Amino acid sequence: MTDESSRKSKRWGAIGVVAVAVAFLAVAGFNFWRLHSREESREEALVRVPVSVIEARMGDVERWLETTGDLRPLQDVFLYPTVSGKKVVEITAERGERVRAGQVLVRLDDAEIRARLDQARAAVEAAATQVGLLERDRARFEALYKEKAVARQRLDRIRSEHEAALARLKEARSALEALQVLHGDFTLKAPMDGLLADRYLDPGNMTDTKKPVVRITTEDRLKVVFQVSEPDFPLIREGMTAECRVAAYPARVFRGRVQVLTPVLDPVTRTAQAELHVPNPDLALRSGMFAHVRLFLGSRRALVIERDAVLRVPGTGTPYVFVVRDGKAVLRNVRLGAERETLVEVVEGLQEGDRVVVRGQNRLSEGVPVEVVQGEGS
Give the CATH number of domain 49-59+301-375; options: 2.40.420.20, 2.60.40.10, 2.40.160.40, 3.30.365.10: 2.40.420.20
Paired with 82 in beta bridges are none
CATH 2.40.420.20 segments of the chain? 49-59+301-375
User: Above 90 in pLDDT, residue 332?
Assistant: yes
Q: Could you read off the pLDDT of 166-185 as tens digits, one per residue?
A: 999 999 999 999 999 999 99
More confident residue, 36 or 134: 134
Q: How far apart are CA 183 and CA 110, in angstroms?
A: 7
Q: What percent of the chain has pLDDT over 70?
A: 87
User: Rounded to whole angstroms, how far apart are CA atoms 29 and 8?
Assistant: 31
CB 117 within 8 A of CB 173: no
- pLDDT at position 300: 86
Query: If pLDDT is split at 50, 70 and 90, which confidence band does 3 have?
Result: low
Question: What DSSP string describes 163-174?
Answer: HHHHHHHHHHHH
Q: Are 76 and 222 in contact (CB under 8 A)?
A: no
Identify the CATH assignment for 66-73+219-299 out of 2.60.40.1930, 2.40.30.170, 3.40.50.720, 1.10.340.30. Answer: 2.40.30.170
> What pLDDT is attached to residue 289?
95
Q: pLDDT per residue over 66-83, tens digit each?
A: 999 999 999 999 999 999
Q: Residue 28: is its pLDDT beyond 60?
A: no
What is the distance of C-alpha 316 from the center of its chain? 27
Q: Is 367 left (phi over 0), alpha (psi -120 to 50) or beta?
A: left
Q: Please write the tens of the pLDDT for every residue from 101-143.
A: 999 999 999 999 999 999 999 999 999 999 999 999 889 888 8
18 has pLDDT over 50:
no
Q: Can you give the pLDDT at residue 169? A: 94
CATH 1.10.287 domain range(s) in the chain: 110-183
Q: Would you tell me which CATH number, out of the four given (3.40.190.80, 2.40.50.100, 3.40.1440.10, 2.60.40.420), belongs to the domain 80-108+186-217?
A: 2.40.50.100
The segment(s) of the chain belonging to CATH 2.40.50.100 are 80-108+186-217
Buried b (16+ CB within 10 A) or exposed e, 196-232: bbebebeeeeebeeeebbbbbbbbbbbbbebbbeeeb
Cα 238–chain centre separation: 18
Residue 1 has pLDDT above 80, yes or no: no
Supply the pLDDT for residue 20.
43
CATH 2.40.30.170 boundaries in the chain: 66-73+219-299
Mean pLDDT of all residues in 324-353? 92
Which pTM value belongs to this model? 0.60
pLDDT at res. 4: 53
Fold of 110-183: Helix Hairpins (1.10.287)
Apex 151 CA angle, 146 and 154, nearest 5: 105
Measured between alpha carbons, how far is 55 from 354 in angstroms, rounded to an integer? Answer: 5
For residue 298, the tally of other CB atoms under 10 A from its CB is 9
